[in-house]
Structure 1
Amino acid sequence: MVISAAGPAAKADVPPPPVPAVVHSPAARLSLDDCRTHAPGFADLLLDAVQRHDVPSRALSVRTLLHLPRLARPNGSIGRTAVIAELNRNAARLQRDQQAIEDLIPKDKYELADLRFVRLGNTDADQIFSRLHYLRSARAGSVNFALVDPVNKLPVTLCSVSPLEWMRVGKQLQAQFGVPLGAAWDVSRVYSFDVAPVNAISYLLSKVRQVIRREIPGVQLLTTAVDPNLGFVGSSYRAANWQQWMSIEARPYLYVDGIYASPRQLRTRYGGANLAELRRANPGGRFEQSRAKLLDSVIYCCRLRGITEPVPLENQRRLRR
């Protein structure tokens, strides 16, 4: 028997057809935790929005994280399409905010040692905080400090400090740590541009501690609240030798017509922060609150004199609103 070239032997030399690659489609839903931690599903969408709108990644991430809880289900999940829409909406708004104060935005990078520590006037600070800080507001009655570049004197990293108004935190500081009421001040706003060098915030905080200790001797302690729902982990405060002393339970985020509004902002604009009352008094407005469970805020503290003692987790109180 003769086997032709088209017979079994020839067929044996032909490689089998390739197995089709398995293509995994993006998950239809993301979780708030995915977004906070910049898991790949969210990180890719963030990068796409940053490139499309030419806005800073960190600022867009924080703004979007502030607004995603409005869209999340009680279990914390959000549709991928809704995340994309929210990223693009916040990116467009951030782009407009940047354009409004373009003359105040630094473009050049400098080494940390080249930056100058200054007390920043309210005019510039208020414009930056009202446009670029995720809360889009300045804290009235604050003293502002900044690291400015050596050439154009533009603020690269800035913060505002004011007497602590959070009475529940103030009373806990007095009861547990012996800090008299009125002797604690709060770092209420921090903003750092993308051109800021590494460790700019912690360096600024150390300078602020020195000047307040020297010029306002009645202040014994600096405090701040770190909100992990926005992706903040407090690393700049820890690098400046601040310590986590307590936490405070989360409350739902509030929104007016799809835009975040703090209780302070609601009281200023509408005379109150009770959503049921606001809906009755303003039938044309859309007042909402988040439904998903949010993470507690963390209170970091720094003594102005001496070492700031660490507090073991078992001794840290969880304050209720």
Structure 2
Amino acid sequence: MVSTPPQQKASVARPAGSPAAPLTVAPVRSATVSLDECRGHDSEFAELARKAAERNNVEPRALIVRTLLHLPRVARRDGQIRWRQIETELARCSTELRADQAKVADLLPHANFKLQELLFVRYDGRLAEQIFGHLHYLRSARPGSLNYALVDPRYGQPVSLCSVSPLEWKRVGSQITRQFDVPMSAVWDISRVYSFAVAPPNAISYLLSRVRTAIRQAAPQVELLSTAVDPNLGFTGSSYLAANWHRWMTIKPRPYLYFDRGYMSPRQLRAAFQTTNVAELRATFDNRFEQSQATLLDSMIFCCRTRGETENVPEGLQRRLHR
């Protein structure tokens, strides 16, 4: 045992008769942290990411989400990650995001406006594809989508935007048809959402409310809107709840897949390599292909009827789907 040197005990002078100041000890950060601890908005990881975003002049929320997407690649089976690995991933994602922002620099909004000042518009598909392709954490746009945005009234720059497209997830569509009697052909998906740092509070929920009305006019055959929310990236679905959407089911997760350290969705893997078979990819690409080992959280499926009220499904009645 190491004792405290006497000179340290008496190093702070105080007036005679005053009570001793309480001894404060700075908390010692553990060598590792869990994926679950990193997902919180006020987590130590989030604060570290915000500082990294400020240093690199990138969107803080975009950096947090993009890094959370890549942390499972380096996490252990028990979900623990070393801080040094987190710092490495933050640095890599910051560099990548900074380069991506530069490619769409003319589309980035900089001015702050109140929510009631923003204009709701049908947004140009080519421009939406550039934003989703570079700034969204999936770095891709959904082909054949309708795109909507809240734009600033002065420059017309998008502040929050989303894409809406026919639902392609057959497992979800089949469950909606069986449980709620809505044919899959009448279900459209909020396939992408992106909101810039200058967006005012409640921008996404307001955008979703306006999109619901717009879809009734643009695609009257659509009865239901759906979306998948991934809590592994820190998303909670609060914006959907605020827009009167409800969680109807959950889906068991699959491991995240990575090629050359970059995340690839099953859709992207199939387009690039004509397969999503893990064994085939590993045999072909060896160490260039990886998949996460830690247990991930279920995705949540939120839904909203385009007409009338949306049913609230009690948690006990929500089905857990397998992929």
Calculate the TM-score normalised by the size of structure 1.
Answer: 0.92
Picking from 51, 57, 62, the partner of 1:59 is: 62
| Aligned pairs for 1:8-19 within 5 A | 17-18=10-11
Mean Cα displacement is larger for which, 20-29 or 270-279? 20-29
Q: Offset at 1:39? A: 5.1
Cα offsets for 1:273-295 (capped at 9, x unmatched): 11211233345x61100000000
**C-alpha contact (below 8 Å) 1:27/1:41 kept by paired residues:** no
1:249 lines up with 2:252 in the alignment = yes
Picking from 312, 315, 318, the partner of 1:316 is: 318
1:145 lines up with 2:138 in the alignment = no
* Change in CA separation of 1:15 and 1:191 when aligned onto 2, cut-off 3 Å: closer
* Change in CA separation of 1:260 and 1:17 when aligned onto 2, cut-off 3 Å: same
Cα distance in 2 for partners of 1:184, 1:211 equals 15
Q: One-letter code of the match for 1:316?
A: Q
Q: Offset at 1:103? A: 0.2
CA RMSD of aligned residues (A): 1.7
Cα distance in 1 for partners of 2:196, 2:41 equals 20
Identity of aligned residues (%): 57
* Change in CA separation of 1:227 and 1:275 when aligned onto 2, cut-off 3 Å: same
Cα distance in 1 for partners of 2:213, 2:253 equals 32
Picking from 198, 223, 236, the partner of 1:220 is: 223
Cα distance in 1 for partners of 2:256, 2:99 equals 24
Match of 1:176 in 2: 179
Q: Offset at 1:187? A: 0.2
Match of 1:136 in 2: 139
Cα distance in 2 for partners of 1:45, 1:181 equals 43
SS of equivalent residue, structure 1 residue 182: helix
SS of equivalent residue, structure 2 residue 185: coil
Cα distance in 2 for partners of 1:38, 1:184 equals 32
| Aligned pairs for 1:68-107 within 5 A | 68-107=71-110
Any stretches of 5+ residues in structure 2 without a counterpart? 1-6, 13-22
Q: One-letter code of the match for 1:207?
A: R
Q: One-letter code of the match for 1:305?
A: R
1:186 lines up with 2:192 in the alignment = no
Cα distance in 2 for partners of 1:55, 1:34 equals 23
Q: One-letter code of the match for 1:301?
A: C
Q: How many residue pairs align between the two structures? A: 307
Picking from 233, 237, 241, the partner of 2:240 is: 237
Calculate the TM-score normalised by the size of structure 2.
Answer: 0.91
**C-alpha contact (below 8 Å) 1:129/1:191 kept by paired residues:** yes
SS of equivalent residue, structure 1 residue 103: helix
Q: Offset at 1:54? A: 1.7
1:304 lines up with 2:306 in the alignment = yes
**C-alpha contact (below 8 Å) 1:30/1:41 kept by paired residues:** no
1:41 lines up with 2:44 in the alignment = yes
Cα offsets for 1:63-122 (capped at 9, x unmatched): 000000000001000001000111111011111111111000011011111111111111
Q: One-letter code of the match for 1:142?
A: S
Mean Cα displacement is larger for which, 274-283 or 293-302? 274-283
Q: Offset at 1:51? A: 2.4
Larger Rg: 1
SS of equivalent residue, structure 2 residue 295: coil
Cα distance in 1 for partners of 2:312, 2:226 equals 14
Cα distance in 2 for partners of 1:281, 1:318 equals 34
Q: Offset at 1:23? A: 4.1
Any stretches of 5+ residues in structure 1 without a counterpart? 1-13
**C-alpha contact (below 8 Å) 2:54/2:60 kept by paired residues:** no
Q: One-letter code of the match for 1:191?
A: Y
Cα offsets for 1:27-58 (capped at 9, x unmatched): 11011011101454313321331222121211
SS of equivalent residue, structure 1 residue 84: helix
Match of 1:289 in 2: 291
Cα distance in 1 for partners of 2:294, 2:172 equals 25
Match of 1:262 in 2: 265
**C-alpha contact (below 8 Å) 1:244/1:311 kept by paired residues:** yes
